[in-house]
Structure formats: C-alpha cells, structure tokens
Amino acid sequence: MTSSLRSDGDRKSPSRRAQPSRQRDAFFDNAKYLAIVLVGVGHAWGQILDGNRTVEALYRVLYTFHMPAFIIISGYFSRSFDLSPKRVKRLITGVAVPYLVFEVAYTLHRRVSEDPQSDFSLLDPTYLLWFLCALFVWRLTTPIWQTVRWPLPIALGIAALASVTPTVDNDLNMQRVLQFLPCFVLGLLLRPEHFQLVRRRAVRIWSVPVVAAALVVGWWSVPRMETGWFYRNAAVQDTGGPWWSGPVLTLALFGCSVVLSACFFAWVPGRRMWFTALGAGTIYGYLLHGFLVKEGSYTGWFQHSFLDTPLGEIGLTVLGATVITLLCTKPVQRVMRYVVEPRMDWAFKRDPGDAARGREKRDKDGGGARETSAEATAPNGSGEKVPV
C-alpha cells in the first residue's frame, strides 16, 4: 500500500504519523507513466490504420480509455485548485506557457518539414496540444464543479449538448474540451478509497473478460462505426448521423471509458517499479513525442510496406513505447524544464499573503525563543527553574 493510502492506525510507525511522508504516491506515478506509454502507442497505431482491421480494433479500444484515464488522474490532482495566486501562477507556467511555446514550435516544425506557408494560430491547437487547452479550461472551472450539487450529471449534460452543436467550432478545440469534461469532473469527485476499491483482486480478475469483450466489440465496430467518434472532436451532424445518436454515443462512450479505465487502474502496480520515477515526467513525453510522429507523417516513414506486416506492427508498438519512455527520463527533463515547467518568478507579483505568513512565522519563532529563554531563567524561590 502506498504512503498516501496508509491507515493512520498503524501502531508500528508512530513517527510517520507525527511527520507525514512527502513521498510521491507510486501508484499514481505508475498510472501516469503507463497511460502516457499507451498514448504514444496509440499515436503510432494511428499511422497504420488503413485496411488493418486488427490494429484498428485495438486502436479503438485504446482510444476509449487511455486519455479518459489520464484526464481522470488530472482531475483527481486538481481537487485543491482554488484560484489562489500560487495556483494560478502554476496554471500559467505549467499549462498556458508550454502551450504557447509548443504551438509555435509545432508550427515552425511543419513549416520546415511540410508546408512553408503554414499559418500560426494560437486558437487552433496543433495535434496533441488540445489537452493543454482543455486542462487550462477545466482547472479554471474547478471551483464551479466543487460548488454545484450535481457536478457529474451537469458535465454529462454539457458533453451531450456539445455533441449535437456543430457551431462549437475548432477554437481551442472546444468540442474535445466539452466532450471530455465529464472525465475531468469524475476525477475531481474521486477519493483515495475509490482507487483502493478498483485495485482489489476481484476487480483485477473481472477486468480480464471485460477487456476481452471490449476487444470483440472493437473488432465488430470497425466496419460499422466511424473512428472519429473516439476522438470526441466533432458534433454528430458533422459525421452524417441522426441528431439523437450524439447524446446516446456520448453517454455510452463515457460509460465504456469509466469501465475500461477501472480495468486499467486495477492492473496498475502500487509498489515502486523501475518506471515509477518516470511518472513525474509524463508531460515531457507527451509534448515531445508528437514531433517524431509528425516528422514520420510528413516524410512518409509510416508508408513503408514492412509496417503492414505483423512483425512491423509489433516493432512499431515497441518503438513507440520506447521513445516515449526515453522522453520521460531525467536528462530530458533537465534540458527541457525551462520551456515545459518554467519558473518565471519575474513575471508575477509577489503574493502579499506570503509576506504576511512569513512575518507571522518569524514572530512566532521569536516568541518561542523568548518563551524558551524565560522558561530557562525564571526562579521559583527554591533555587529551581520553572516555566512562566
């Protein structure tokens, strides 16, 4: 059991109760790493879908849960967001600034590799950058979801309405922002005990036939359902389907996402593994691997006939997982931290509350020192020293 889920009643470690561990939770770092590996694998598979029913069936099952699982974790760790200066600063430096930097970088990359006339557009996220736009919006709305009485039904209603509203255009990829919103809100509502619940042995066992059934449904759906639905980036009218299918598919996909995400979490190890430390660098792997995928697309790497063979498909899967693993490592984090997680203290006003808390702490420390001095020197008339 990880440190954050350990019972306070453990009598064998009283010192840990007095001084709670600040170590990262291995379970969530493992989950983030495994989820980001699946993102990289999914982007690799997305380049070889044409005419390959097996890969497309796997791809659809993967796209049903891998981003929802990642978004659920993002929501879970956004529960404390409260629009305070400290957290707003972190939102800007950790989400908004990387989005601006990488949007420019991806556009320049496309200009060099494919289209010299490619336009800069900060409102139309390139490729995988939609997630940063979505995370920025979701976190800003966190106080709303923590205030309303029925946050998840409201979020599902908004997602269903978005699925039948073609006027929600591509600015900031708002269709995805709204259609994935219930996953983020679900994360806000979860508590440690919910993750303990899905990690039980019974859930682990039942997840095997559930995933097998999902693969069968994925295989069945290939000739019968648009792959675009799994991206959740368009209204039903844009796919030519009847209007009522939008809300139905939105609710069905959400239900499938939750079930398969639970199966995923059930198999995530809770102990420290060789890849646990990589969970802290998943944003690096996410933002950087897109350059390689795009370069391969621009230059025709993925058109090689070898990738149409089973050995080629397996090799591409292993390559995708390996590349994104390397991009999450400490050396990459050290080199890229200045653009992915910049401090930018120069750009922000000093929080008056921090200064006040600092003065209060200094006063308290000074008062404690004076009390200690008085305790050591006050006589009681018998030659002993007593506290006053």
For residues 166 and 198, state if they share a domain. Answer: yes
- Write b or e for each residue in 243-261: b if 16 or more Cβ atoms lie within 10 A of its Cβ, otherwise e: eeebbebbeebbebbbbbb
Do 288 and 356 belong together in one domain? no
Query: What is the amino acid identity at position 295?
Result: E
- Together in a domain, 145 and 294: yes
Instruction: Provide the domain limits for residue 354.
Output: 350-388
pLDDT band at residue 12 under the 50/70/90 scheme? very low
Condensed to tens digits (0 to 9), the pLDDT of residues 308-319 reads 899 999 999 999
Say whether both 268 and 139 belong to one domain. Answer: yes
Q: Please state the rounded mean pLDDT for residues 77-97.
A: 93
**How many angstroms separate the CA atoms of 387 and 376, rounded?**
7
Instruction: Say how far apart CA 242 and CA 239 lie, in whole Å.
Output: 9
pLDDT band, residue 387 (cuts 50/70/90): very low
209 domain-assigned:
yes
Are 160 and 242 found together in one domain?
A: yes
* Cα separation, 317 vs 362, whole angstroms: 56
Rounded-to-integer distance, Cα 6 and Cα 12, Å: 12
> Domain for residue 388, yes or no?
yes
Mean pLDDT of all residues in 269-289: 94
| pTM summary value | 0.84
Find tokens 């923590």 and name the residue: 146
Whether residue 263 is contained in a domain is answered as yes
Instruction: Based on the fold, state whether residues 159 and 236 are members of the same structural domain.
Output: yes
Residue in the structure block whose two tokens are 């919006």: 137
The reply to whether 321 and 276 lie within a common domain is yes
- Residue 4 inside a domain? The answer is no
Same domain, residue pair 122 and 231: yes
Q: Is residue 9 part of a domain?
A: no
> How many folded domains does the chain comprise?
2
Q: How far apart are CA 101 and CA 95, in angstroms?
A: 10
Q: In this structure, are 179 and 325 located in the same domain? A: yes
CA distances from 70 to 178, 201, 207, 303 (A): 16, 22, 18, 30
Residues 362 and 278 in one domain: no
The closest of 172, 197, 205, 175 to 258, measured between CA atoms, is 197
Q: Indicate if 383 and 246 belong to the same structural domain.
A: no
Same domain, 245 and 374: no
